Amino acid sequence: MSISADVELQDAGRRLILHAAGQRHEFAALWLRERAPDATTLDTRTGQRLIEASQLPLTLHVESASFDAQTLHVCFSDGHVTAYALDELLDDAAPDNADIASGLSLWDAELETLPQATFDAALEDDGALLAMLEDLHRYGFVKVSGVPCEEDGMQPLIDRIGPLRRTNWGGIADVKSVANAYDLTMTQRGLEPHTDNPYRDPIPGYIWLHCLSNAAAGGDSTLTDGFMAAQRLKAEAPEDFDCLARLSTQFRYTDATTDLESEGPLIELDSQGRLARVRYSNRTERIAAHDAALLERYYAARQRFYRLITDEALTVHLKLGPGDMLIMDNYRLLHGRTAYQLEGGVRHLRQGYVDRDSTASRRRVLGAQLAENAQHGASHTAQGVTP
Ligand SMILES: [Fe+2]
C-alpha cells in the first residue's frame, strides 16, 4: 500500500520530521545515521552495526532529505548517503503513549474461556505450537491438557521451545507436601498470589506447572493478571502506582546451601513507560529500612495493590487434574493456591522454568516461518491455476 508522506528538517537538520498518514514522526539525525540500512553501516548478513555509533559527531545533521515513491533518501553532514523504506521507518517510529504493549489482552474473573492447548498437538504440529505460544503471549497463561503423567512428562514440549532453566532445586522439581519443607510451597498451606522467585537474577520467565495427581481436598489454583491489577491501581490511585513503580524492594531466599537475593520494584515499567513486569512475594520480600515516611508511603501503596491482586473480581480459579499443566508468564501473572488436606488423597505437581527470551524468540521465528510457508503455498496455488 502506498503511503503519502512529506519530510522537513528542523534544528539545522539535527531533526527530521516525517508527516505520513496524518501522523507526525520526529527522528534524531544521529538515530537515522546509526540505523542507516546500508552495507557500510550494517553487516548485510547479520544486520549488526559495523560503525562505532558512539564516535559519530554529536553535531551530525541531515544536509538534505527527499522522497522518491516509498523511499526516503537522506544525505548526512558526514557525507554519508543512504535510503530508508518508508514502511520500515514508520514501524520504528516512536509508539504512542500506551500503558500496555500491543498484542496483550488483559483479563479479570470474567474471562470466559481459558486459553487452552493440547500436549500432543503442540508437540507434533507447528501451527498448534504457534497458537499455544501466541495465547501465552496474549493472556499470560495457557492450560495444556494431555500431558503424560510421568515425572518429566512436560520435557518433550519444553524441548520444542527452549532450554529448561535449571536452578538450585534442579530442573523439573516436585511441588508436594513434605516434612521439613525448605519452602512454603512444599507445605499444605494456602499460598497468597505471588510471582515466583523474585530473589533470582534473572527471574524465571515462564512457570510450567504439571499436575500428576490432585486428589487432596482443596489445592485449587488461582490466577490474577498482574497487569490488570496494576492498571486498576493506576486508575484508582496514581500516586500509589508511581510509588510501586519507582521504589525497588529486595527479595531473599536462603537454605543450607543457597543464599539468593535480588531487587526490583513491585511494578516495573519499560523504557517507554509500559508495564513490563510485576513482582510480589510476601514470603521473601525484605525491603530496606528506608526512612519512615517513605516506607509508610510504600506500605499504603502495597496494601492497595494487595487488595487488588486478591480481589475475587480479578481472580480466576481452576483445579488442575492429572495430565493438566499450566504455563504462566511469571513477569505478568500472580498465582496462588488454596490450602489442602492430604487426608483426602495425594497432591503431586511438578514444576519447571523456561526463559522469556527463548520463548519469545520461538514464537516470532515460528510465526515468520509459518507465514512464509503460507505465502509460498498461496503463490504455488496461484501459479497452478494460471493458464
Ligand atoms: Fe509459585
What pLDDT does residue 92 have?
87
Q: Determine the distance separating the centroid of ligand 1 and the alpha carbon of 47, expressed in angstroms.
A: 39
Task: Dump pLDDT digits (tens) for 150-198.
Answer: 999 999 999 999 999 999 989 999 988 776 777 787 778 888 999 999 9
Q: Determine the distance separating the centroid of ligand 1 and the alpha carbon of 123, expressed in angstroms.
A: 25
Euclidean distance between CA atoms 208 and 155, whole angstroms: 10
Q: Determine the distance separating the centroid of ligand 1 and the alpha carbon of 330, expressed in angstroms.
A: 9
What pLDDT does residue 188 have?
80
Q: Determine the distance separating the centroid of ligand 1 and the alpha carbon of 85, expressed in angstroms.
A: 46
Q: Determine the distance separating the centroid of ligand 1 and the alpha carbon of 266, expressed in angstroms.
A: 16
Domain boundaries, the chain: 5-92, 116-365
Task: Dump pLDDT digits (tens) for 328-361.
Answer: 999 999 999 988 887 767 889 999 999 999 999 9
Q: Determine the distance separating the centroid of ligand 1 and the alpha carbon of 276, expressed in angstroms.
A: 19
Euclidean distance between CA atoms 376 and 265, whole angstroms: 46
pTM given for the model? 0.90
Q: Does residue 387 carry a pLDDT above 60?
A: no
Q: Determine the distance separating the centroid of ligand 1 and the alpha carbon of 290, expressed in angstroms.
A: 28
Q: Determine the distance separating the centroid of ligand 1 and the alpha carbon of 195, expressed in angstroms.
A: 6
Task: Dump pLDDT digits (tens) for 277-319.
Answer: 999 999 999 999 999 999 999 999 999 999 999 999 999 999 9
Q: Determine the distance separating the centroid of ligand 1 and the alpha carbon of 196, expressed in angstroms.
A: 5
Q: Does residue 209 carry a pLDDT above 60?
A: yes
Q: Determine the distance separating the centroid of ligand 1 and the alpha carbon of 69, expressed in angstroms.
A: 54
Confidence of residue 385 (pLDDT cuts 50, 70, 90): very low
Q: Determine the distance separating the centroid of ligand 1 and the alpha carbon of 321, expressed in angstroms.
A: 18
Q: Determine the distance separating the centroid of ligand 1 and the alpha carbon of 20, expressed in angstroms.
A: 47
Q: Determine the distance separating the centroid of ligand 1 and the alpha carbon of 132, expressed in angstroms.
A: 22
Q: Determine the distance separating the centroid of ligand 1 and the alpha carbon of 161, expressed in angstroms.
A: 21
Q: Determine the distance separating the centroid of ligand 1 and the alpha carbon of 335, expressed in angstroms.
A: 6
pLDDT mean across residues, the chain: 93
What pLDDT does residue 339 have?
84
What pLDDT does residue 234 have?
97
Confidence of residue 382 (pLDDT cuts 50, 70, 90): low
Euclidean distance between CA atoms 214 and 120, whole angstroms: 22
Give me the CATH topology for the region 5-92.
Answer: NE0471 N-terminal domain-like (3.30.2020)
Higher-pLDDT residue of 384 and 212 is 212
Query: Mean pLDDT lowest for which of 178-187, 203-212, 219-228, 370-379?
Result: 178-187
Q: Determine the distance separating the centroid of ligand 1 and the alpha carbon of 46, expressed in angstroms.
A: 39
CATH of domain 116-365: 3.60.130.10
Euclidean distance between CA atoms 334 and 280, whole angstroms: 8
Which set of grid coordinates corresponds to residue 172?
523439573
Q: DSSP code of 69?
A: T
What pLDDT does residue 344 have?
65
Share of the chain above pLDDT 90, in %: 80
Q: Determine the distance separating the centroid of ligand 1 and the alpha carbon of 256, expressed in angstroms.
A: 20
Q: Determine the distance separating the centroid of ligand 1 and the alpha carbon of 380, expressed in angstroms.
A: 49
Euclidean distance between CA atoms 130 and 49, whole angstroms: 31
Q: Determine the distance separating the centroid of ligand 1 and the alpha carbon of 241, expressed in angstroms.
A: 24
Q: Determine the distance separating the centroid of ligand 1 and the alpha carbon of 261, expressed in angstroms.
A: 17
- Of the candidates 149, 93, 148, the one whose C-alpha atom is nearest the C-alpha of residue 120 is 148
Compute, in degrees rounded to 10, the torsion defined by CA atoms 293, 196, 185, 290. Answer: -20
Confidence of residue 386 (pLDDT cuts 50, 70, 90): very low
Q: Determine the distance separating the centroid of ligand 1 and the alpha carbon of 301, expressed in angstroms.
A: 23
Q: Specify the long-range contacts of residues 374-382, CB closer than 8 Å, at least 24 apart.
A: none
Q: Determine the distance separating the centroid of ligand 1 and the alpha carbon of 332, expressed in angstroms.
A: 13
Task: Dump pLDDT digits (tens) for 215-261.
Answer: 878 888 999 999 999 999 999 999 999 999 999 999 999 999 999 99
Which set of grid coordinates corresponds to residue 5?
508522506
Name 327's Cβ contacts closer than 8 Å, sequence gap at least 6.
132, 136, 141, 142, 144, 206, 207, 208, 209
What pLDDT does residue 97 have?
63
Q: Does residue 29 carry a pLDDT above 90?
A: yes
What pLDDT does residue 179 have?
67
Q: What crossing angle do the helices spanning 238-246 and 292-309 adopt, rounded to 10°?
A: 110
Task: Dump pLDDT digits (tens) for 95-145.
Answer: 666 888 889 999 999 999 999 999 999 999 999 999 999 999 999 999 999
Q: Determine the distance separating the centroid of ligand 1 and the alpha carbon of 252, expressed in angstroms.
A: 15
Euclidean distance between CA atoms 269 and 70, whole angstroms: 35
Mean pLDDT of 36-47: 96
Euclidean distance between CA atoms 103 and 355, whole angstroms: 20
